């Protein structure tokens, strides 16, 4: 139960990082 919860959090964390990194990478060149 705990291990599955941790795996779900890890998956969500990786997805959030990808979603958060993409806009930053796309906006950085535009701003500069």
Length of the chain in terms of residues written: 32
Structure token digits, residue 9: 């959090």
Burial 1-32 (b: 16+ CB within 10 A, else e): eeeeeeeeeeeeeeeeeeeeeeeeeeeeeeee
0.75 exceeded by the pTM?
Answer: no
pLDDT of residue 10: 95
pLDDT at 11: 95
Question: Tens digit of pLDDT for each residue in 4-26?
Answer: 999 999 999 998 888 767 766 66
């Amino acid at each position: 139960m705990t291990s599955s919860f941790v795996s779900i959090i890890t998956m969500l964390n990786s997805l959030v990082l990808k979603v958060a990194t993409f806009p930053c990478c796309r906006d950085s060149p535009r701003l500069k």
